[in-house]
Amino acid sequence: MKTESVVSFPNPEIGPEMKGAEVVVECLAREGVEVVFAYPGGASQELHQALAKTKKLRTILPRHEQGGSFAAEGYARATGKPGVCFATSGPGATNLVTAIADAYMDSTPLIAITGQVYQKFIGKSAFQETDFFGMTLPIVKHSYLVLNAEDLPRIFKEAFHLATTGRPGPVVIDIPKDVQQARIKPEYPAKVEMRSYNPERKATDDQLEEVLRLLAKAQKPVLYVGGGIVSGNANDELLAFAERNQIPVATTLMGVGAFPETHPLSLKWFGMHGTVAGNWAVQQSDLLFALGVRFDDRITGEVSKFAPEATIVHIDIDASEHNKNKVVHYPIISDVKHALGRLNELGKKLDTPVPDTTVWLETVRGWMKEHPFRFDPDCPHILAQEAIRVLFELTKGEAIITTGVGQHQMWAAQFYDYANPRSYISSLGLGAMGYGYPAALGAKMACPDKHVIDIDGDGSFVMNIQELATAKIEKIGAKAMILNNQHLGMVVQWEDRFYNSVRGHTILGDASNIGSPDNIGGLYPNFVQIAAGFGVPGRMVHKKEELRDAVQEMLDCDGPFLLDVVVPYTEHVLPMIPAGKTVADMIIK
């Protein structure tokens, strides 16, 4: 579908005549794409023929379209560059929807390219036809239905511009088969300017000087930091601002790694299962800097009672987030890297006074010391928390961690300390199970020299277990450490806390044979055997004395490896703020 745009190419580069599908591949190469994740079908066959003939980029064949699109997300989250996935029409396209929605929620740059039936069949319920353009409108930055092959170069230039500028996000390009087959002489624009799209927003000095005046008077300031710092590459500016003004930093889960968690100003992350200190500090703050965040419910709880005494400064590139969930005092539309960098410059230039946070820092550090994340080291069984801590120690905190969704996802954030951005990759806004291992494949493709480990649950891992075949055949050395408790652990935790432990279909294993982790005869499925069937080595461990050796074996393996760690199902993720409640209702033990 043709968009309103102004194309700036006074001297466009005109290429040789080729098929529309070949134009697509050339456009990707011109945007610096090195790898795509693509599953073929009838309506996308022309695209795959073009991919098969190029040496300009590598095509990874996933074993399910959702696996491929999650892998593209993992690639994007690890690099900041757009991930690219392909699927055919109908069911192939609809299998991308979860990842597209996930990318939209977590502001991940994603280009999803789908084949579509011939134009003459659109709207006639043809074989494998869906209105993918319309279907994805609520979950994208933009959707295209390409009706003219001559528009392909412009559309791809626009799509990458949209996906990567301002607040990043997904873009869908739906291409009918006759457009793929059409022969054209493509005209490649050098750049595009889209009418009504102005992503380069910057705070004014007047706005920022007012922020500095507020800061000088503050006694209990806190930096509330989200994924916008990561996507905006503003971690260095954040560190400088926090250190100059001696302000404690509490991140969201999307912001994990934006500020080094071993730094004395770090409160790690806060929210439903975050640190006691982080939650208390934000709640009791008198000045709250909200940077690249959206005040989601897992952070605020009952929003009307969130940070009730704080003057809130909200800096975000997306104006639609201002006052959407929480009414703030100073909404500032800006690229956060510019805003923080300029705050640092103005602070030095104007020699503005920094707040005296000595007493405040003593208080919050006292809370951190008194209420750390903890587990019982004397438990006779391997606890999930202990397994993650061992992984942290053996990788020295330098791995990229992906996760599925559930208890393991929270423990992976609690017990692995992240010093760098883009090192904790998880489905956070959408909470999509099955995300972890495909995302690990994408992250490993992006960062082949780093350890990439998917910390997963048995319920979440099995949803895309087929991607072990992708890892084997494509020689992608992503590891999986499954924390296997035979239950849907997070739902079980809610059942225990709020539903009198009634099990509403949350037992994954053989209910008649589940008890102590020492009773491993009834484990189902046998992940090590399944991995072997895909040609991937694995090991199962249930004795504490074998844990460290087993984790080291996983790390030493050159290729993919599956480590099945048997853990109790009785553990709960704590602290916990019940949904819709406040910090005052926090369950600490």
Count other C-beta atoms under 10 Å from residue 555's C-beta.
17
Give the Cα separation of 75 and 77 in Å (integer).
6
Is 418:249 a contact under the CB 8 Å cutoff?
no
**241 token code pair:** 């601002």
Known active-site residue 127: yes
For the chain, helix (H) and strand (E) counts, in that order, are: 23, 24
Cα–Cα distances in angstroms (integers) from residue 404 to residues 110, 481, 491, 518, in the given order:
19, 11, 14, 25
The span from the CA of 443 to the CA of 401, in Å, is: 9
The residue whose two tokens read 């079980």 is: 492
Residue 133: name the closest of 120, 146, 121 by CA.
146
Q: How far is CA 402 from CA 111, 213, 422, 480, in A?
A: 21, 40, 10, 9
The catalytic residue among 1, 13, 127, 185 is 127
Q: Is position 19 annotated as part of the catalytic site? A: no
Strands 183-184 and 142-145: unpaired
Structure tokens at 217: 């008077």
The residue from 22, 31, 65, 237 that is catalytic is 65
Containing 304, the helix (H) or strand (E) segment is: none
150 labelled catalytic: no
Residues 433, 481, 490, 576: which is the catalytic one? Answer: 490
Which residue among 177, 220, 326, 337 is the active-site one? 177
207 is catalytic: no
Per the listing, tokens 């560190």 go with 239
Residue type at 469 in one-letter notation: A
Which residues contact residue 363 at a Cβ distance below 8 angstroms, ignoring those fewer than 6 apart?
none
Cα-Cα end-to-end distance for the chain = 55
Based on the residue annotation, tell me whether 474 is a catalytic residue of this protein.
Answer: no
Residue 523 CA to its chain's centroid (Å)? 31
Active-site entry in 45, 49, 119, 128: 128
Instruction: For residues 237 and 140, give the distance between their C-alpha atoms in angstroms, rounded to a whole number.
Output: 29
Strand partners, 457: 483
Active-site residue set:
65, 127-128, 177, 490
